[in-house]
Amino acid sequence: MADKKIVYTTYQRESDLAPAIKLIDQDLSEPYSIYTYRYFVHQWPELCILAHAQNKDNNEEEKGECAGVVICRLEPHRRRYCEGFFEDSAELNRGYIAMIAVGKPFRKQGVGSELVRRALDRMREMGADEVILEAEVGNAAALALYQRLGFVREKRLYRYYLGGMDAFRLKLWL
Amino acid sequence: MDGLSDEMAGLSVDGAGLSPDGPGLSSSDDETTQWLDITQLVRAGTAELGEGELLRADGLSLFDALTSVEVMDPRLDMGVLTAADEAEIGQWDVGRTLTAAQALWVAERAFQCEMTWHASASLLQTMYACNYVTDPAYVRLPVGRADSPSPVRDRVLYPLLVAAGRCCRRVWDEYKMGNLYSEEDVFLGTAAAMHFFDEFSDGAALALLDGAAAWLDGAGGAGNDDDDELRAVARLRALVRVRRRWLEVAGALGAAELADDPAAALDRALQGLQGLRTCHAEYVAAHRPADAAWLEAHAVRGAFDFKCMRRYAATVPVKPRALLGAGEAHAEFGRLARDLALAGDLAAAGSAEQLMYFFLGVAQRDSTPHPYVRSVLMSVLAQGDRVQLREPMARFASRAVRDMAPPADPDADAALCDEAARLLTDWFRTMCQNVPRQRRVALKSLPAWDLLQAEAEALDIAAYRAAHPAAAEDRASDPACNPFWLSSWAYHAKLLLMEAALLAGARLELYQDYELPSVLCYATQVLEAHVAHLARWADLVADSPSAAACVTRWHALLAAQKDLAMALWLAAHACERLRIFAAPWARGPPDDVRRRLDAEPARRARYALRFRAFAQLGSPPYVTFESYGEAAAQLDAYPLAELFIHAQAILARARAGLDAARRARDEASPAAWDRLCHGVNYAIVSNSVALARLLKGTALVHAPELALSGAQAGAHHYALAQQQQQQQQHADQHNRPRPRSKRGRKKHAPPDHASTARKWQSAVDAALRDAAVCVRWSCPLDKGTCWPVFSFIAQPD
């Protein structure tokens, strides 16, 4: 992959979705419907960030292969509870990282970290106070990534996934 | 049997009738349903939409989005038929004559379905997938008739399936008691009108099984020279025995049976359970690895329709679930049968104290017991107004309080006992939930215990005033005068709950390395408060032998745990200083991320996440973020080696304390108490060994002069130096002249222990700092402990 450069874009149109879905389907154990994806990308297109692998000498109009994707949302949360931390905030805005996937050839190159970091930056700009997500208990790589970024394991969710695996709810205060 | 077909035809889920027409959308969901073709309407309505554009209702929530099903996606749509499914459905032959091996294959597959249903899958994708269970055309056949054209199918398989249905009914009825959480523990999505061969009583099903056993012993086994058939007959015979026992056990544990004659029903269940475990173990042991392939060669094509969901049009669709494998299913059943014996232990507990030991033990098991077992435990614990199926709740709680606080006024605390009974049984029930939920519920219920304690304090003060009318007013609220009987008990229970919640976080792997020092610091503070409380209480109940024994027992166990927590805190703090427990972001991300995460607000928020549930409690005092910072700063003043050595010394003290706890065991419930002590003992011993290895190992690798003998000598000098220092202080305090040697008389210079110890300490510190020590910790649940056990590995350069 030395001849490739990774370019990050936000969701623009429906045609962006198919390669992202393909990546997510390969990566995540949980199956999602097209409605799930559209729920996110239509309401928070700026929080759907795609990584494209382009040839270094390519012109910018060609997007290149989809190397990774992160899909998120941001909404006011019904309660605020971390005393002393959000004192200036009128309401708690909670971000949620719903899905993230990186293509196998592009792993261990920091693409996942960069996608999450960009999503966090974007959410911070949009007024997020905290971000949560769920990760499979056995997914050591994902847990390590999020923990490096400061996420804390808030709780464990019993049999959260369809296959019966537990999940950790992770949380980061922005 | 004639009525059976009508029953089966009327099989309904949420009012949706089972289609008698086989595959395809049912046209007979109910009489009032009218189907309308809306294709044109949808086309017209969406004509202006571009590709990917979405019409979304405002009410569409995240949950709706995440659980939405895409029609014709086989991963999501339970009803979509692939070519393989079509081929399978076409193979269903209701009149097929089955061999014994084929009947065994169907029975085994149905067993897998049953156990997958137990593991929180829908009946519609498990038990109801079996056409021999749901196809009315099969049920209309002359089952059980002596002249059946397929005797093994109708005289063996059919009784097995009827009995399986009855077992499912018993489990379903237990699940409907509302003890468990739908979808988390069990699948209760389609609760209405489930059919489990309800036209048969358990007795009728057992009679059918007896008939099957007789047929297998007689005609079924005789005159058959085929090895496969003989093998299958033998296994079917064993399976019939297992099923018979299981139905007997599940039947005895039914709500009506337990309510009618609890002792007899439990006795029957426990006796049956012994037989069940033996039968099932024999059945599993007889299974050879080659059997799976052999059995698969006798698969009955079309016997199972795992896309049967499409026949239940009015039912909320579920996502497809993979079936447990045969090995997994039997392993799950083995665990279920093993854990059901807990119901007997629960019923045998003679007091609330013993129940406390029992449930703390259940909560510390290495795996969450099967949902059916947990629900049965909850049903046996409390039904209606009865605890353990025999004692009224209020009396139970009153006894619980008086076991440890004997002089409480029996009239003054009736209302409090009602509330205590509710909280106590709720707590025990919480211990039967899955572990993540145990922790969450425990944290949520703490304020209620706090309130109970406050109410108990008011009662205690009123009782004191009544007993001492001449005493000064302020003496009533003075702990030195007022024993505070009731509130002492409530405080003890609340502290136990706090400790359980703190340790559950470690067990669930919620705490990351860098959080461990603060968690262990908090645990130390809670346990210290608890031990101090029990010490005071032990003095108060000294005149009551049974209460004194109970309080002393708890005191010994909790003192050992307090020492364990403190030792681990010191070790964890030292690891933090060595940067072994550095936060993950300290190594990776750019400075701006690190700065933000290390900033005080972020640290404060992380601290609050773990301990905020304790901040609202009246007692024990909340360990604030600042207090924790001060405590950590105090530890920072000690050399690293001293922290580890001190941790070792405290662990030795913990071990001695635990021996006292073991000696003080409750003879009425020795096994439960021993289990609690065993887990703590394992953590103490393992951590002691780990610390000894750390000091020895790092010294060996990095400073050969500090090898084992050196380390021992260093520790020895350290102890002597401490002793010298204390003697010096003592002498200084009393201003005693120190003895002087006689002039001119040559004496050996006394060894300078302090100097040796200082040198040794600094050498160990240097060795530890340079050592690339790797530390791991975990809670070895298989050893019965939720306490962290450290493992230090000195990595060579």
pLDDT at residue B697, rounded to an integer:
62
The edge-to-edge listing of strands for the beta sheet with B382-383 is B382-383, B386-387, B391-392
Residue A33 has its nearest CB partner, among B51, B76, B584, at: B76
Where would I find the H helices in B475-599?
485-507, 516-540, 545-577, 591-598
Domains and CATH numbers, chain A: 4-129 (3.40.630.30)
- Are A173 and B435 within 8 A, CB to CB? no
B720 touches chain A (CB under 8 A): no
Distance in Å, alpha carbon of A154 to nearest chain B alpha carbon:
7
Summarize pLDDT for B762-774 with one digit per residue, the tens: 666 666 665 556 7
| Radius of gyration from C-alpha coordinates of chain A | 16
User: What's the number of CA atoms in the CB half-sphere (13 Å) around residue B321?
Assistant: 29
The two tokens of residue B708 are 């084992």
Structure confidence at residue B364 as a pLDDT band (50, 70, 90): confident
- Chain A residues with CB-CB distance to B70 below 8 A: 33-35
Distance in Å, alpha carbon of A90 to nearest chain B alpha carbon:
18
B293 touches chain A (CB under 8 A): no
Separation between Cα atoms, residue B711 and residue B703, nearest integer Å:
10
pLDDT of B556 higher than 90: yes
Residue B510 has its nearest CB partner, among A35, A144, A156, at: A156
Question: How crowded is residue B294: how many other Cβ atoms within 10 Å of its Cβ?
Answer: 15
Summarize pLDDT for B365-414 with one digit per residue, the tens: 878 889 999 999 999 888 877 888 888 877 777 777 777 666 555 555 66
Structure confidence at residue B540 as a pLDDT band (50, 70, 90): confident
Residue B593 has its nearest CB partner, among A35, A150, A173, at: A150
pTM of the model: 0.82
Cα angle for residues B786, B788, B793 (degrees, 5° grid):
145
Distances (CA, A) of B551 to B340, B678, B759: 31, 19, 45
Q: CA torsion, points B377, B379, B383, B389, in degrees to nearest 10?
A: -60
Q: Which residue has the higher pLDDT, B638 or B104?
A: B104
Lowest mean pLDDT among B188-202, B244-258, B424-438: B188-202
Mean pLDDT, chain A, rounded, equals 86
pLDDT of B722 higher than 50: yes
pLDDT at residue B782, rounded to an integer:
86
Identify whether the C-beta of residue A115 lies closer than 8 Å to the C-beta of residue A8: yes
Structure confidence at residue B125 as a pLDDT band (50, 70, 90): confident
Which residues in chain A (120-149) have CB-CB distances under 8 A to chain B? 137, 144, 147-149
pLDDT at residue A50, rounded to an integer:
95
| Interchain CB contacts (distance < 8 Å): A and B | 119
Q: CA torsion, points B597, B600, B602, B607, in degrees to nearest 10?
A: 120
Give one word for B439, left, alpha or beta, with left for phi > 0 and alpha for psi -120 to 50. Answer: alpha
- Are B54 and A42 within 8 A, CB to CB? yes
Residue in chain B nearest A18 by alpha carbon: B52
ipTM of the complex: 0.90
- Chain B residues with CB-CB distance to A151 below 8 A: none
pLDDT at residue B28, rounded to an integer:
43
Summarize pLDDT for B524-534 with one digit per residue, the tens: 999 999 999 99
- Chain A residues with CB-CB distance to B602 below 8 A: 150, 173
Summarize pLDDT for B28-63 with one digit per residue, the tens: 445 566 778 888 888 888 888 877 777 778 788 888
Q: If you average pLDDT over residues B12-31, what whole number do you get?
A: 38
Residue B604 has its nearest CB partner, among A32, A39, A84, at: A84
Residue in chain B nearest A32 by alpha carbon: B66
**Cis bond before residue B620 (omega within 30° of 0):** yes
Lowest mean pLDDT among A152-161, B188-197, B266-275, B285-294: B188-197
Closest CA to B383 of B251, B250, B254: B254
Summarize pLDDT for B411-455 with one digit per residue, the tens: 556 666 777 777 888 888 888 888 899 999 999 999 999 998 898
A155 touches chain B (CB under 8 A): yes
